[in-house]
Amino acid sequence: MADAGSGAGAEGRAVAPPAAIPAAPPSGDGTAAGVSPPPPEIGSPEARIGVRDLTMAYGSFVLMRDLNFGIRRGSIFVIMGGSGCGKTTLLKHMIGLVEPARGEILYGEESFTRASGERRQELLRSFGVTYQQGALWSSKTLSENVALPLEQYTDLSAREIREICELKLALVGLKGFEDYYPSQISGGMRKRAGLARAMALDPDVLFFDEPSAGLDPISSHLLDELILELRDSLGSTVVLVTHELPSIFAIADDSVFLDTATRTMAARGNPRELLRNCDDPTVHRFLTRGAEEHPERRPA
């Protein structure tokens, strides 16, 4: 397992109305991202991940309850909602850093929550997780950072590990930076290096926690394109925590909206479809931020 965290996004980035949103990219199952297939049943062959009857709590304080959704294999799934709603906490439940107060997490038809410690470790090796700030070791080069999971979980030689590190860094646009230290590169490059480390063991599930936080719009757009390319080339299932609207509309195939008022799911579906069709005022306000100050951006 490679990387998870939390944080705020760029609030000033405006979103255009539905008619001006760029054409949706193809989704993981080959349909247009704006025309979603029915959500997969939890525990079905189509669902890579399932969240069943999940309650998240800290002691007696219930953060979210009754969360139920399946995540289709090869899709990009966004967890969205306002600050403090539990987006990152949900991601932590999905990777086993926090135990459910009630309910369970499934991978395919297998319960991750009820799995033995040994089996959990096996499942964790199929995950790649990127932390918000990259979470790179400052005393190690980029290549040495990417090598860590390979050294820990494989019997590959030093030469083989070096070759894999070079390949993973090249995949995220960091060819030639193998021997640089994190302090010598930009914030966006550190995020990409964290992604290279997350891919070290060739995971088929990638988790991102606020990947665009702190990035300028161009770097954020390039990171969105990289996530799409990796999903399409590797066939990975991607779970993304974010509240950055441009990213949500650009790459998401499916999503869930967590509502702090009701402490449960307020909406589920492709964000582009939710923008057009969801009647929940909280979800509508979230997806149309900036429209009040800029009437020309108000959805039709």
CA distance 126 to 75: 16
- The rounded distance, in Å, linking the Cα atoms of 218 and 215 is 8
The DSSP letter of residue 173 is: T
Token duo for residue 298: 């108000």
Between CA 248 and CA 180 the distance in angstroms is 32
Q: At what angle do helices 142-153 and 158-171 cross, to 10 degrees?
A: 120
pLDDT at 134: 61
Q: How far apart are CA 92 and CA 77, in angstroms?
A: 15
| Residue 215, pLDDT score | 76
Whole-number Å distance between alpha carbons of 274 and 39: 14
C-alpha distance across the termini of the chain, in Å: 43
* 51 touches 105 (CB < 8 A): yes
Across 47-154, where does the E strand assignment appear? 47-58, 61-72, 76-81, 102-107, 110-111, 127-130
How many other C-beta atoms are found inside a 10 Å radius of the C-beta of residue 204?
15
Using DSSP bridges, classify how beta strands 264-268 and 110-111 pair: parallel, antiparallel or unpaired.
Answer: unpaired
Divide the 300 residues of the chain into consecutive groups of 10 and give the mean pLDDT of each group: 41 40 50 64 90 95 96 95 92 94 95 93 88 79 93 91 94 90 88 88 90 80 87 90 90 95 94 92 88 46
List, in order of start, the domains of the chain with CATH numbers.
41-126+252-293 (3.40.50.300)
